[in-house]
Chains A and B, each alone.
Chain A
Amino acid sequence: MADLGPPIGTGPLGKREARLAWGLLLPTITAVALVVVLPLLAIFWISFKPVELGDLRAPEVVLREDIRGDADVLNGEAALRYRLRNSSQDQPITGVTFTDTLPEGLTVTDLDPRCTLSDRALACNFGDWDPGTRETLTIPVTVGQAYLDAKVRPQDSPAVTTGTASNILTNATFTLDNFKRVFSGDEFLEVLWVTLFYTVFGTIGALLVGLFAALLLNKSFKGQGILRGLYLFPYVAPIIAVAFAWLILFDPFSGSANALLVQMGVTPEAINFFGERPLALIMVTVFEIWRYFPLSFLFILARMQSIDTDMYEAADMDGASPFQQFWYLSMPQLLGILSVLFLLRFIWTFNKFDDIFLLTGGNAGTRTLTVNVYEQAFAVSNIGAGAAVAVVIFACLLTFSLFFLKYISREEGL
């Protein structure tokens, strides 16, 4: 008897649809895996490695060849000279060999014992090299007519070198020094405190300022569009342009802000806004608020404009004052978007690097975790320590994100 129940599982059509979906997503997944997932794994790997900036170049055999003596006379006595060295001063290279093709018309008179010559193919073997080894190999030759005719010089056929060096990035040396370095001392606590201060106040400040701006523009009047566009300027302009504009505005020697403050009698002498503790930290936080309030402003304004105006009319009829309307009607409606914005902005501010890097370079007590990655990896040239800081950042973010996903799914149903 035939089974008359509803179909169970995925039918062929459904399977085809799923296949198409994965097909469409494949390019994105590949790209993201290559540029996001792979580097993240690499960061974990590197954070356990004693890598310095200079180690990124693997040691290699450097070879230069030339010909000396009477190379342009028939039957002249000349010498082929190969100069080789180990490019690294502290890494050995094993199994160093090179091969080269000699030009036509040169007759080798005496061959170095380490080399063999068959027809015109020269092959030499130097065995293992210590760090910083240099060798000079001279092969005396007699110049024949064919060489003079062909005008091919020995350098024209490049010699091929081989040699294996252990690469610090791929070998099996591991260390915990990077993490020890990062966590040791008061420095880490200070970095953590600066990061928290910057993130918390930057986020809350940008939200409040954005809310204020949205309240201002939540009515239609002539020029509302222009003002809205204007208030987005800080967010749209290139970060490097506005950061330098701020630096010049607040310059201690020739900045307009200082000149203005002195002239108005607020301060007797110029203030070094970006160079003093704790003012520099406050200034970079203010900059963060200034640059990112437009984003909160935009989202809050969009949400405000979607609130039903009937509610306000009803509240008006019932005698609610403007502040009461804001507090009891608008705020509950805005709470969702405010909390989403807070979480998003919190994570993004935590991740911010460019702003502080351009404004203070992490000096004067403004070194956040992200700036510390750069500082360790490139200023101190300890790539491993930089990677260790990056791992710490990633762990923090993972915690935030888990919290975020749990919370957000209830909030706005993203």
Chain B
Amino acid sequence: MGFLRFGYITAPVLGALWMVVLSVTISVAMSFATGDPFRPSLWLSLCWGAAAAIGAAGLMGQKGAHWGVMLALIGVTLTPYGPIERGETGMFAATVAAVSLGAIFVWSVRKILHDTPMGALTRHEFEGAIIRFLTGFGYIFFTAIVLIPFYVMVMTSLKNQGELMQNPLDFSIDLSKGADLFRSYDELFTQFNFGTYMFNSFFISVLTVFITLAFAIPGAYAVARLRFAGQAAFSRSILLIYMVPMIVLALPIYIAFSMTGLRNSFWGIVMIYPVTTIPVALYMLQGYFRGLPAEVEEAGLMDGLSRLAVIWKITLPLSLPALASVSLYVFMIAWNEFLLAFMLLDDPSKFTLTRGIASLNSSEIPRQHLMAGSVVATVPIMALFLGLERFMTKGLTAGSVKG
């Protein structure tokens, strides 16, 4: 690997690889945005990237050389010999692709190579450049893999089946259609009862949160604060319960519910959901309770409060942030739950959102309805999550593993 550690080798190699990353990214982005055929050319990308990297990073010493390189890159991308090949694309889209490729490449390659002189490199300089390259790649990679499925989901819900079959890449939407764009959403709520499903999901999730808290708070307090034989074993076995797979439980629950007539009932679901969330909630809460200063509670006890009053008046107000995270997490689990709802609910008037979406998965119902249903289920939980992200990330990590 030693021969790589010279600026005149490192820079072109990184530049060439970076050009491949960017030309693929921009081709994919432009294809998804316009539906026009853009395709990256591997060999031309490598060549142009290697050549442009040296000039763009100003390694030769000329000031302002990168402006020239940028213009040259934009120019060459518009010809058939650039890093991105085009089929029959609109001139405007082609220009956007060329300008963004040139500008982003020059700007980012200067960042990647800003500390890389032409001659022999120290280990610091060399690894720094590699790390900056990997960082840039990582940002693009993760953003792409996370966003593309959601982008496809939203855009598919706005288009109709015919348009999609014609060109699966064309996600451009015709804004002149106005409110008609949202036709599949309208049909979901008017013909497929999604309003009811949404209400059911919401109602069940909120009830689950309250029932879970009612069970988990006393339990967590006992495990965290009170001394009794078996305390250690108990706090450990909570995790064990969390390890039992749902499908193993779902089978006997299905049988029991079928025989007692609880299947297909709202209350059956409300009885089962909290039990799946109580162990998690208890575990998260006891971690938080342990971190609270015991002295405050002892002061309360000395002043004549009973234990229960201490929990109500001292511990709970102090642990509001933890309660918020736990509630959010439990709400998320209940809202997203699919398996039990799928197995236990058959009556369309009692469907939850996830069960409702599953019922849309048939060949007679167009796909944009399925995707619109998915969007309807995803948006509320995303909004809630983004609004309370601070609690969420803390809650997920805090209770589960120390450190």
List the interface of chain A (C-beta within 8 A of B): 14, 17-18, 20-22, 24-25, 27-28, 31-32, 34-36, 38-40, 42-43, 46, 56-58, 169, 212-213, 215-216, 225, 227-234, 236-242, 244-246, 248-249, 251, 253-256, 258-260, 263-265, 290, 295, 298-299, 302-303, 306, 321-323, 336-337, 340-341, 347-348, 350-351, 353-354, 357-358, 370, 373-374, 377, 383, 386-387, 390, 393-394, 397, 400-401, 405, 412-414
Q: Tell me, rounded to whole Å, the shortest Cβ–Cβ distance linking B400 to chain A.
A: 7
**Given the complex, which residues of B lie within 8 Å of A347, measured CB to CB?**
243
**Given the complex, which residues of B lie within 8 Å of A212, measured CB to CB?**
138
> When the two chains form their complex, are residues B258 and A56 in contact, meaning their CB atoms are under 8 A apart?
yes
Contact pick for A249, options B148, B251, B282, CB 8 Å: B148
Interface string of B120-150 (1 = CB under 8 A from A): 0001100110010001001100110111111
> When the two chains form their complex, are residues A232 and B251 in contact, meaning their CB atoms are under 8 A apart?
no
- Given A39-B249, A241-B374, are A31 and B282 also a contact pair (CB < 8 Å)? no
**Complex formed: what's the CA distance from A260 to B25 in Å?**
12
**Given the complex, which residues of A lie within 8 Å of B143, measured CB to CB?**
227, 230
Q: Tell me, rounded to whole Å, the shortest Cβ–Cβ distance linking B135 to chain A.
A: 6
> When the two chains form their complex, are residues A31 and B215 in contact, meaning their CB atoms are under 8 A apart?
yes
Contact pick for B128, options A18, A258, A295, A322, CB 8 Å: A322
Q: How many residues of B contact A (CB 8 A)?
A: 106
**Given the complex, which residues of A lie within 8 Å of B145, measured CB to CB?**
290
Q: Tell me, rounded to whole Å, the shortest Cβ–Cβ distance linking A110 to chain B.
A: 40
- Given A241-B377, A248-B156, are A18 and B227 also a contact pair (CB < 8 Å)? yes
**Given the complex, which residues of A lie within 8 Å of B147, measured CB to CB?**
230
> When the two chains form their complex, are residues B385 and A236 in contact, meaning their CB atoms are under 8 A apart?
yes
> When the two chains form their complex, are residues A242 and B127 in contact, meaning their CB atoms are under 8 A apart?
no
Stretch at the interface among B7-15, B26-34, B47-55, B319-327: B26-34
Name A216's closest neighbour in chain B (CB-CB). Answer: B138
**Complex formed: what's the CA distance from A299 to B403 in Å?**
9
Interface string of B165-207 (1 = CB under 8 A from A): 1011101000000000000000000000000000000000000
- Whether B63 is near chain A, meaning CB under 8 Å from some CB there, is no
Contact pick for B279, options A22, A32, A46, CB 8 Å: A32
**Given the complex, which residues of A lie within 8 Å of B37, measured CB to CB?**
263
Q: List 10 additional contacts besides A233-B150, A241-B375, A302-B397; criterion CB under 8 Å.
A: A21-B227, A169-B255, A216-B138, A238-B381, A240-B358, A245-B149, A256-B168, A263-B31, A377-B251, A414-B401
> When the two chains form their complex, are residues B275 and A43 in contact, meaning their CB atoms are under 8 A apart?
no
- Whether B228 is near chain A, meaning CB under 8 Å from some CB there, is yes
**Complex formed: what's the CA distance from A215 to B123 in Å?**
20
> When the two chains form their complex, are residues A244 and B167 in contact, meaning their CB atoms are under 8 A apart?
no
**Given the complex, which residues of B lie within 8 Å of A373, measured CB to CB?**
247-248, 251
Contact pick for B382, options A236, A251, A263, CB 8 Å: A236
> When the two chains form their complex, are residues B169 and A259 in contact, meaning their CB atoms are under 8 A apart?
yes
Contact pick for A340, options B131, B234, B377, B401, CB 8 Å: B401
**Given the complex, which residues of B lie within 8 Å of A24, measured CB to CB?**
218-219, 221-222, 226
> When the two chains form their complex, are residues B139 and A216 in contact, meaning their CB atoms are under 8 A apart?
yes
Q: Tell me, rounded to whole Å, the shortest Cβ–Cβ distance linking A281 to chain B.
A: 19
**Given the complex, which residues of A lie within 8 Å of B403, measured CB to CB?**
302-303, 306, 336-337, 412
> When the two chains form their complex, are residues A245 and B152 in contact, meaning their CB atoms are under 8 A apart?
yes
**Complex formed: what's the CA distance from A216 to B139 in Å?**
7
> When the two chains form their complex, are residues A354 and B338 in contact, meaning their CB atoms are under 8 A apart?
yes
- Whether B354 is near chain A, meaning CB under 8 Å from some CB there, is yes
Q: Which of B31, B218, B246, B392 has the most chain A CB atoms closer than 10 A to its own CB?
A: B218
Q: Tell me, rounded to whole Å, the shortest Cβ–Cβ distance linking B190 to chain A.
A: 21
Q: Tell me, rounded to whole Å, the shortest Cβ–Cβ distance linking B298 to chain A.
A: 13
- Whether B396 is near chain A, meaning CB under 8 Å from some CB there, is yes
**Given the complex, which residues of A lie within 8 Å of B361, measured CB to CB?**
244
> When the two chains form their complex, are residues A241 and B378 in contact, meaning their CB atoms are under 8 A apart?
yes
> When the two chains form their complex, are residues A229 and B27 in contact, meaning their CB atoms are under 8 A apart?
no
**Given the complex, which residues of B lie within 8 Å of A340, measured CB to CB?**
401
- Whether B73 is near chain A, meaning CB under 8 Å from some CB there, is no
Instruction: Sort A-B residue pairs by CB-CB distance and give the 8 closest, nearest first.
Output: A351-B245, A241-B374, A39-B252, A18-B228, A24-B218, A21-B226, A42-B252, A35-B275
The contact sample of 29 A-B pairs, CB cut-off 8 A, is A20-B222, A21-B222, A22-B222, A24-B219, A24-B221, A27-B215, A31-B215, A31-B278, A32-B278, A35-B249, A36-B244, A40-B252, A231-B142, A232-B392, A234-B146, A237-B382, A238-B338, A240-B358, A245-B149, A251-B168, A255-B168, A323-B127, A337-B403, A377-B251, A383-B255, A386-B251, A397-B244, A401-B240, A413-B402
> When the two chains form their complex, are residues A397 and B243 in contact, meaning their CB atoms are under 8 A apart?
yes
**Given the complex, which residues of A lie within 8 Å of B275, measured CB to CB?**
31-32, 34-36
**Given the complex, which residues of A lie within 8 Å of B249, measured CB to CB?**
35-36, 39-40
Name B276's closest neighbour in chain A (CB-CB). Answer: A35
**Given the complex, which residues of A lie within 8 Å of B392, measured CB to CB?**
232, 236
Name A41's closest neighbour in chain B (CB-CB). Answer: B252
**Complex formed: what's the CA distance from A394 to B248 in Å?**
8
**Given the complex, which residues of B lie within 8 Å of A323, measured CB to CB?**
127, 131
**Given the complex, which residues of B lie within 8 Å of A38, measured CB to CB?**
252
- Given A241-B374, A242-B149, are A21 and B247 also a contact pair (CB < 8 Å)? no
**Complex formed: what's the CA distance from A216 to B231 in Å?**
40
> When the two chains form their complex, are residues B135 and A390 in contact, meaning their CB atoms are under 8 A apart?
no
Interface string of B368-398 (1 = CB under 8 A from A): 0011011101100110011001001100110
**Complex formed: what's the CA distance from A400 to B64 in Å?**
62
**Complex formed: what's the CA distance from A212 to B401 in Å?**
20
Contact pick for B142, options A216, A229, A246, A253, CB 8 Å: A216
Within 8 A of A (CB), among B220-246: 221-223, 226-229, 231, 234, 236, 239-241, 243-246
> When the two chains form their complex, are residues A298 and B227 in contact, meaning their CB atoms are under 8 A apart?
no
**Given the complex, which residues of B lie within 8 Å of A298, measured CB to CB?**
393, 396-397
**Complex formed: what's the CA distance from A319 to B316 in Å?**
50
**Given the complex, which residues of A lie within 8 Å of B382, measured CB to CB?**
233, 236-237
**Complex formed: what's the CA distance from A383 to B358 in Å?**
23
Q: Tell me, rounded to whole Å, the shortest Cβ–Cβ distance linking A240 to chain B.
A: 5
**Complex formed: what's the CA distance from A246 to B152 in Å?**
9
- Whether B296 is near chain A, meaning CB under 8 Å from some CB there, is no
> When the two chains form their complex, are residues B247 and A412 in contact, meaning their CB atoms are under 8 A apart?
no
